[in-house]
Amino acid sequence: MNFAFMKTRHGKAITYAVLAVILALLPWMLTGGFENGKSWVRAVDFALLYIMLALGLNIVVGYAGLLDLGYIAFYAVGAYVYALLNSPHLAAILPAWLIGPNFIVMLVVAAVFAGMFGVMLGTPVLKLRGDYLAIVTLGFGEIIRIFLNNLDRPVNITNGPQGINNIDKVHFLDIDFGRPMEWLGLTFDMVHLYYYLILAFCIFIIFVTLRLQHSRIGRAWVALREDEIAANAMGINIRNVKLLAFAMGASFGGVSGALFASFQGFVSPESFVLMESIMVLCMVVLGGMGHIPGVILGAIIVSITPEILRDVINPLQEGIFGRRVVDPENLRMLIFGLAMIIIMLLRPEGLWPSKRRAREFHEHDEEAQA
Amino acid sequence: MTDALLKVEDLKVAYGGIHAVKGINLEVKQGELVALIGANGAGKSTTLKTLVGMVKPTAGSITFNGENTARLAPYHYVDRGLVLVPEGRGVFPRLTVEENLQMGAHTRNDKGAIASDMARVYDLFPRLKERRLQLAGTLSGGEQQMVAIGRAIMSRPKLLLLDEPSMGLAPIIVQKIFEIIRMIAAEGVTMLLVEQNAKLALETADRGYVMESGKITLADDAKVLLANEAIQKAYLGE
Ligand SMILES: Nc1ncnc2c1ncn2[C@@H]1O[C@H](COP(=O)(O)OP(=O)(O)O)[C@@H](O)[C@H]1O
Ligand SMILES: [Mg+2]
């Protein structure tokens, strides 16, 4: 494909403008175009949350080269922090001023909390790499989930496996994101309102990761990923730079988790299982580790495909066999697994890799041609 | 002498039970090019690594630019102007030549000066300019050595430590590398040069130290060492 036009300044402006219009209209195209349009908008809302998660994990895995299999723990921390401060569950115990804080304050708290957990994970694993690091982070993710599952005794903090209910929707700029709103002759439902809210934060996070990539800290992460000893010799404080990667990645997860909790209105430990960590990692790897557009693409594909399958496979099965033969949920994992294998065999660098990564994987092809 | 840029006193280094450096004294003055020669396993690399904190000494002192620099964390040395071009070069193989050079300036803030230093490195190594967008790992050994030296220059070293820059290179490339070393020295960069190629090192240096199994056995002007019969027998193959 030729993207040359899009690289000119004029072309860039046009591309962004088109993109902005599409993004602004997307939920209306979905609700207008499909019978079950609202559930599609909901799916897109979740896709946006996953993009935020994938971009956060991309900092740790893609930029700093630290394999993390417990990333969903930070999503959980953000979600529970929001849930506990914005639901009746602890309202009787906590001082009143703590309950239902300002939304932006709330997100900062979620980010800081998750970031602290990131440092907590990062500190003991400073000397670990590769497979050892993967195992420890996996354990960390499970520990967090098990804590959430069991911290209902002796004092009921997390409400255990039942999870926390009746979480307040976001109230911000005089808008109640839980209630339908009339504007410009359109009815904005909860899913629409949240679409724009999550999209705003998603764009913010994309902006931050882009800036990070070309900053001094971004270059330090690259050096760290490529060779720790050499990076040290360049004057880079490995310990701080690693902890910063864990903390930054985790805080993105925390913000995403807080938005998730308010959107869903309910959280329980079940949402934060190992499979979720693996899914987010798949988004990063499948899309193109370290490359923001690739990671976004990966997150969209991995989170939206199951929704499409659900809508396509059932009618298809009923059409062919007259009844449902396979549960779409099972089929989803089968197809997903196969797709992962095929893509990793054919395009190990991911669907939309950075030039650098594509080059690493195809250096030999170039030599062969030369 | 109190005006030494680097002063090492009674330095001892051990790896577990192995005593690699057994109490050495050496110094490098501002503007000097000092050679440290010796057989394989004598402890030369260990000495250099200790100078930049990659290995911790068991005893002794290191004074650089008036400051006690023994036992700092490894990332503290670049800022102080103590830069090592390690044995085996230590370039970032999956970064381009230019990115490698930029890494050398990682702790610096002076954008304009960085750009002019980059231009200077490309003047010293026109070969690197041609290959600035090539991944460093795909360069030849000699070119990687140029990247390693160029990257060190980008750090604006007060004292440049070179560990066997001639290792594994064809004689003609070695000549080229040493030509560059002389050029850098002429620009006023102080250097401590470790070499197994003793002849070339002593011909290039102002002074030299000879190291044998962890100890300094001889120290003198490079010319005197070159004329020394024992050294000629042991290291110069004459
Ligand atoms: N990492 C290490 N662990 C244990 N012993 C080492 C290590 N590095 C070097 N040595 C030992 O220390 C001694 C000096 O090594 P080195 O400083 O590399 O010598 P040179 O650079 O002069 O060839 C050798 O006996 C070597 O085997
Ligand atoms: Mg050596």
CATH of the domain at B196: 3.40.50.300
Kindly state the DSSP code that residue B166 receives in the 8-state scheme. T
| pLDDT band, very low/low/confident/very high, at B27 (cuts 50, 70, 90) | very high
pLDDT of residue A368: 44
The reply to whether B210 falls in a domain is yes
Q: If you count residue pairs, one on A and one on B, with CB atoms under 8 Å apart, how many are there? A: 63
The SS3 of residue A179 is coil
In this prediction the ipTM stands at 0.87
Q: Which of B92, B154, B155, B158 to probe the A interface (max A CBs under 10 A)?
A: B92
What range does the domain containing B224 cover?
A: 31-52+73-235
Contacts of A209 (CB under 8 A, 6+ apart): A55, A58, A59, A292
pLDDT of residue A5: 67
- Cis status of the peptide bond prior to A154, with omega within 30 of 0: yes
Instruction: Give residue B47 CA to ligand 2 midpoint distance, Å.
Output: 9
**Which residue carries 């009815």 as its tokens?**
A187
Taking the C-alpha atoms of residue A356 and residue A283, their distance in angstroms, rounded to an integer, is 19
Ligand closest in space to the Cα of B54: 1
The reply to whether B230 falls in a domain is yes
- pLDDT tens figures, A97-134: 777 678 888 899 999 999 999 999 999 888 888 889 99
C-beta separation of B161 from B148 below 8 A: no
Residue A360 at interface with chain B, using a CB cutoff of 8 Å = yes
Q: Which residue of B has its CA nearest to A228?
A: B92
Count helices and strands (H / E) in chain A.
14, 4
| pLDDT band, very low/low/confident/very high, at B2 (cuts 50, 70, 90) | low
| pLDDT band, very low/low/confident/very high, at B178 (cuts 50, 70, 90) | very high
The reply to whether B205 falls in a domain is yes
Q: What's the structural domain count of chain B? A: 1
* Ligand 1 atom closest to B38 (CA): 22
| pLDDT tens by residue, chain A, 370 residues | 456 666 777 878 888 888 888 887 778 777 777 777 778 888 999 999 999 999 999 999 999 999 999 999 999 999 999 999 887 777 777 777 777 678 888 899 999 999 999 999 999 888 888 889 999 999 999 999 999 989 888 888 888 888 888 878 777 777 776 777 777 777 777 778 889 999 999 999 999 999 998 899 999 999 999 999 999 999 999 999 999 999 999 999 999 999 999 999 899 999 999 989 999 999 999 998 889 999 999 999 989 888 887 778 777 878 888 777 777 777 777 888 888 889 889 888 888 888 877 877 776 555 444 3
- pLDDT tens figures, A349-370: 888 888 877 877 776 555 444 3
Q: Residue B73: CB within 6 Å of ligand 1?
A: no
Which sign, positive or negative, has the C-alpha torsion A201, A203, A207, A213? Answer: positive
Q: Which residue of A has its CA nearest to B53?
A: A233
Tell me the nearest-neighbour CA distance from B128 into chain A, angstroms: 19
Contacts of A271 (CB under 8 A, 6+ apart): A76, A79, A260, A264
Instruction: Indicate the average pLDDT of chain B.
Output: 92
Give me the residue spans of the domains in chain A: 38-286
C-beta separation of A208 from A58 below 8 A: no
Q: Which of A226, A228, A237 to probe the B interface (max B CBs under 10 A)?
A: A226
The reply to whether B15 falls in a domain is no
Q: Phi and psi (nearest 5°) for A26?
A: -45, -50
Terminal Cα-to-Cα distance of chain A (whole angstroms): 23
CA B135 to chain centre: 24
Tell me the nearest-neighbour CA distance from B2 into chain A, angstroms: 28
